[in-house]
């Protein structure tokens, strides 16, 4: 069910720090700042005075409080939104050390699975809240992001006290939050989508329209069949037609949309393939399940990522 129903007027203003002002973090920070209910702090590498948010309802220019050095943080935040790529999590450690206290909640807006295991050791006792992100964000410039919405909901979270508290933050904003009783299944379904859309767009350097090719569709179904077998071995309730469902979901999105990995490759950045196909391959190895197609994607994209890291 959707959680954007609480009255914004009844909410206590809170301090929300956003680590990583890329496509996902920039949109989240922009939507929260546009609502004007909470104090939003952007934790960034370079100074920024404003943020321009292109959203379905129009373009808004927002003043933004930005901090470029974790040492400048004076007190813990109520919420921290961790919006870096998964392989950049360790680099956020100085920010988390200054922003977190036992009363802080850290919402992890990252791809893949294992959010709590990845972030909790860095969060100084704060509660880690995994978030599934569906909205399509695109960073147009250091101070400009675009929001595109391609499904009924923009984010999903477990239907518990922490999840409901997260949903209340975004009540009345452009971002819609879904509360989910079976979060484990939902996060694997998102992993399935990412495990084909991100690698295929990054390797072909084409946007999501490439997924509609008949030969690419057949390849995606085979990749997804491996992943579904692994997910079931992990105890996740995935249907027999889960690969077809994942592609059907992808086909509801505009072919003009890119993926985070596609944009990262265009920009010459490292790729977070280990959090996607790498997670599937690792889980398959634990259960003795062969994943040759996912492993092939992992090897190819690691080579691309390593070249980006070395400036090649």
Answer whether 154's CB lies under 8 Å from 164's CB. no
| 35 and 110 both lie in a single domain | yes
| 190 in active site | yes
Residue finishing a domain among 118, 147, 181: 181
Which structural domain, as residue segments, surrounds residue 212?
Answer: 184-309
Paired tokens of 284: 């398959």
Q: How many domains does the chain have?
A: 2
Cα–Cα distances in angstroms (integers) from residue 119 to residues 38, 125, 192, 207, 308, in the given order: 24, 10, 22, 31, 25
| 51 and 130 both lie in a single domain | yes
Is residue 156 situated within a structural domain? yes
| 148 and 30 both lie in a single domain | yes
DSSP code per residue over 79-130: EEEE-S-GGGGGGGHHHHHHH--TT-EEEE--SSS-HHHHHGGGSTTPEEEE
| 29 and 159 both lie in a single domain | yes
Residue finishing a domain among 147, 181, 215: 181
| 164 and 191 both lie in a single domain | no
Paired tokens of 261: 């990995």
Cα–Cα distances in angstroms (integers) from residue 296 to residues 8, 73, 234, 301, 302, in the given order: 48, 43, 21, 9, 10
Is residue 33 situated within a structural domain? yes
Neighbours of 192 (CB within 10 A): 25
| 147 and 197 both lie in a single domain | no
Which listed residue (50, 85, 127, 190) is catalytic?
Answer: 190
Residue finishing a domain among 157, 181, 205: 181
Q: What are phi and psi of 127, to 5 degrees?
A: -80, 130
| 44 and 66 both lie in a single domain | yes
Is residue 3 situated within a structural domain? no
Read off the CATH number of the domain in which 264 is found: 1.10.1040.10
| 157 and 206 both lie in a single domain | no
Read off the CATH number of the domain in which 76 is found: 3.40.50.720
Q: Residue 289's closest CA among 232, 240, 219?
A: 232
CA contacts within 13 A on the Cβ side of 111: 28
Paired tokens of 197: 């859309």
Q: Residue 129's closest CA among 93, 69, 86, 183?
A: 183
The one-digit pLDDT tens for each residue of the chain (312 residues) are 444 444 554 568 899 999 999 999 999 999 999 999 999 999 999 888 899 999 988 999 999 899 999 999 989 999 999 999 999 999 999 999 999 999 999 999 999 999 999 999 999 999 999 999 989 888 999 899 999 887 788 999 999 999 999 999 999 999 999 999 999 999 999 999 999 999 999 999 999 999 999 999 999 999 999 999 999 999 999 999 999 999 999 998 889 999 999 999 999 999 999 999 999 999 999 999 999 999 999 999 999 999 998 876
Q: Residue 80's closest CA among 61, 63, 93?
A: 93
Is residue 253 situated within a structural domain? yes
| 176 and 28 both lie in a single domain | yes
Is residue 32 situated within a structural domain? yes
Is residue 1 situated within a structural domain? no
């Amino acid at each position: 069910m959707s959680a954007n129903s609480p009255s914004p007027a009844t909410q206590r203003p809170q301090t929300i720090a956003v680590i990583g002002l890329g496509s996902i973090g920039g949109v989240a920070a922009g939507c929260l700042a546009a609502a004007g209910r909470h104090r939003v702090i952007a934790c960034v590498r370079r100074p920024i005075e404003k943020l321009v948010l292109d959203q379905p309802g129009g373009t808004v220019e927002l003043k933004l409080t930005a901090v470029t050095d974790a040492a400048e943080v004076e007190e813990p935040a109520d919420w921290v939104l961790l919006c870096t790529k998964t392989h950049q999590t360790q680099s956020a450690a100085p920010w988390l050390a200054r922003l977190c206290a036992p009363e802080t909640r850290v919402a992890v807006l990252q791809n893949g699975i294992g959010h709590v295991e990845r972030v909790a050791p860095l969060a100084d006792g704060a509660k880690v809240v995994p978030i599934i992100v569906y909205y399509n964000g695109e960073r147009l410039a250091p101070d400009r992001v675009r929001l595109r919405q391609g499904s009924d909901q923009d984010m999903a979270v477990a239907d518990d006290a922490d999840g409901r508290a997260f949903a209340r933050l975004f009540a009345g904003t452009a971002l819609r939050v879904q509360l989910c009783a079976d979060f484990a299944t939902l996060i694997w379904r998102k992993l399935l989508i990412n495990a084909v859309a991100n690698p295929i767009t990054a390797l072909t350097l084409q946007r999501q329209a490439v997924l509609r090719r008949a030969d690419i569709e057949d390849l995606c179904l085979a990749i997804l069949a491996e992943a579904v077998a692994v997910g079931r071995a992990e105890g996740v309730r995935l249907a027999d037609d889960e690969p077809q469902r994942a592609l059907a979901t992808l086909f509801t999105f505009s072919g003009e949309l890119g993926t985070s990995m596609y944009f990262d490759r265009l920009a010459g950045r490292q790729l977070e393939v280990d959090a996607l196909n790498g997670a599937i391959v690792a889980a398959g190895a634990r259960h003795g399940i062969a994943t040759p197609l996912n492993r092939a994607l992992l090897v190819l994209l690691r080579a691309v990522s390593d070249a980006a890291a070395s400036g090649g």
